[in-house]
A and B are shown apart, each in its own frame.
Chain A
Amino acid sequence: MAVLVYTENTEGKFKKSAFEAVTYARAIADALNTSLSAAAIGDASDEELGKLAKYGAKKILKISDAQFKNYSVQGYASAITQAAQKENADVVVMLASFGGRGIAPRLAVKLKAGLAEGAVELPKIVGNFIVRKTAYSGKAFADVEIVSAKKIITLIPNSYKVEEKPETAAIENLSPSINNDDFKMTVKETVRSTSKVSLPDAEIVVSGGRGLKGPENWGMIEQLAEILGAATACSKPVSDAHWRPHSEHVGQTGITIGPNVYIAIGISGAIQHLAGVSSSKVIVVINKDPEAPFFKAADYGIVGDAFDVVPKLIEAAKAFKAGQN
Chain B
Amino acid sequence: MKILVCISHVPDTTTKINFTPDNKSLITQGVQFIINPYDEIALTRALELTEKSGGSVTVINVGEATTEPTLRKALAIGAADAVRINAQPREAFFVATQIAEYIKKTPYDLILCGRESIDFNSGTVPSMVAEMLGIPSVAISKTIQVENGKAVIEREIEGGKEVIECALPLIAGCSESVAEPRIPNMRGIMSARTKPLVVVEPVQTETFTKVAGYDKPAPRSSVKLVDAAEPGKLLELLHTEKKVI
A residues within 8 Å of B by Cβ? 8, 10, 15, 71, 73-74, 77, 97-99, 101-106, 108-110, 112-118, 128, 130, 132-148, 181, 184-193, 195, 198-201, 203-204, 228, 246-247, 249, 252-254, 256, 260-261, 271-272, 275, 278-279, 281-285, 295-305, 308-309, 312-313, 315-317, 319-320
Shortest Cβ gap from A61 to chain B (Å): 21
Report the bound CA distance from A116 to B122 in whole Å: 8
| Contact residues in B for A285 (Cβ distance below 8 Å) | 223
Other 5 A-B pairs with CB < 8 A, given A132-B215, A190-B160 = A105-B139, A136-B119, A141-B214, A146-B209, A256-B121
List B207-245 residues whose CB lies under 8 Å from chain A. Answer: 207-217, 220-221, 223-232, 234-239, 242, 244-245
Shortest Cβ gap from B238 to chain A (Å): 6
Contact of B118 among A116, A137, A204, A312 (CB under 8 A): A137
Can you list 12 A-B contacts (CB < 8 A)? A73-B136, A98-B140, A101-B139, A103-B127, A118-B121, A132-B215, A134-B121, A136-B17, A148-B209, A184-B166, A185-B166, A313-B235
Q: Is B53 an interface residue (CB 8 A)?
A: no
Question: A73-B138, A137-B13, A200-B158 are contacts. A109–B128 as well, Cβ < 8 Å?
Answer: yes
Question: A282-B244, A284-B234, A300-B238 are contacts. A106–B137 as well, Cβ < 8 Å?
Answer: yes
| Contact residues in A for B134 (Cβ distance below 8 Å) | 181
Report the bound CA distance from A299 to B218 in whole Å: 13
Q: Is B93 an interface residue (CB 8 A)?
A: yes
Contact of A140 among B17, B124, B131, B231 (CB under 8 A): B17
Complex contact B127–A102 (CB within 8 A): yes
Q: Is B73 an interface residue (CB 8 A)?
A: no
Question: A73-B136, A99-B158, A301-B224 are contacts. A316–B235 as well, Cβ < 8 Å?
Answer: yes
Complex contact A299–B245 (CB within 8 A): no
Shortest Cβ gap from B189 to chain A (Å): 24
Question: A141-B215, A192-B160, A299-B223 are contacts. A115–B209 as well, Cβ < 8 Å?
Answer: yes
Complex contact A141–B216 (CB within 8 A): yes
List B169-224 residues whose CB lies under 8 Å from chain A. Answer: 175-177, 207-217, 220-221, 223-224
Name the residue on B nearest A239 (C-beta). B177
Complex contact B162–A261 (CB within 8 A): no
Q: Is B89 an interface residue (CB 8 A)?
A: no
Shortest Cβ gap from A133 to chain B (Å): 8
Shortest Cβ gap from A320 to chain B (Å): 5
Contact of B163 among A116, A187, A192 (CB under 8 A): A187
Complex contact A146–B139 (CB within 8 A): no
Contact of B161 among A144, A191, A283, A300 (CB under 8 A): A191
Complex contact A189–B163 (CB within 8 A): yes
Question: A106-B127, A190-B160, A300-B238 are contacts. A136–B118 as well, Cβ < 8 Å?
Answer: yes
Q: Is B108 an interface residue (CB 8 A)?
A: no
Report the bound CA distance from A94 to B163 in whole Å: 23
| Contact residues in B for A256 (Cβ distance below 8 Å) | 121
Question: A15-B158, A136-B11, A186-B164 are contacts. A297–B214 as well, Cβ < 8 Å?
Answer: no
Report the bound CA distance from A34 to B237 in whole Å: 42
Report the bound CA distance from A99 to B123 in whole Å: 12
Contact of A193 among B11, B136, B159, B224 (CB under 8 A): B159
Complex contact B127–A73 (CB within 8 A): yes
| Contact residues in B for A198 (Cβ distance below 8 Å) | 158-159
Q: Is B132 an interface residue (CB 8 A)?
A: yes
Report the bound CA distance from A282 to B235 in whole Å: 12
| Contact residues in B for A195 (Cβ distance below 8 Å) | 159
Q: Is B68 an interface residue (CB 8 A)?
A: no
Report the bound CA distance from A313 to B226 in whole Å: 12
| Contact residues in A for B234 (Cβ distance below 8 Å) | 284, 300, 302, 313, 316
Contact of B225 among A138, A254, A302 (CB under 8 A): A302
Complex contact A252–B122 (CB within 8 A): no
Name the residue on A nearest B11 (C-beta). A136
Report the bound CA distance from A298 to B14 in whole Å: 19
Shortest Cβ gap from A180 to chain B (Å): 12
10 shortest interchain CB distances as A-B pairs: A304-B228, A316-B232, A114-B208, A102-B139, A198-B159, A105-B127, A192-B160, A109-B131, A313-B231, A106-B131
Complex contact A115–B155 (CB within 8 A): no
Q: Is B72 an interface residue (CB 8 A)?
A: no
Question: A10-B159, A141-B214, A143-B213 are contacts. A316–B119 as well, Cβ < 8 Å?
Answer: no
Contact of B220 among A128, A299, A316 (CB under 8 A): A299
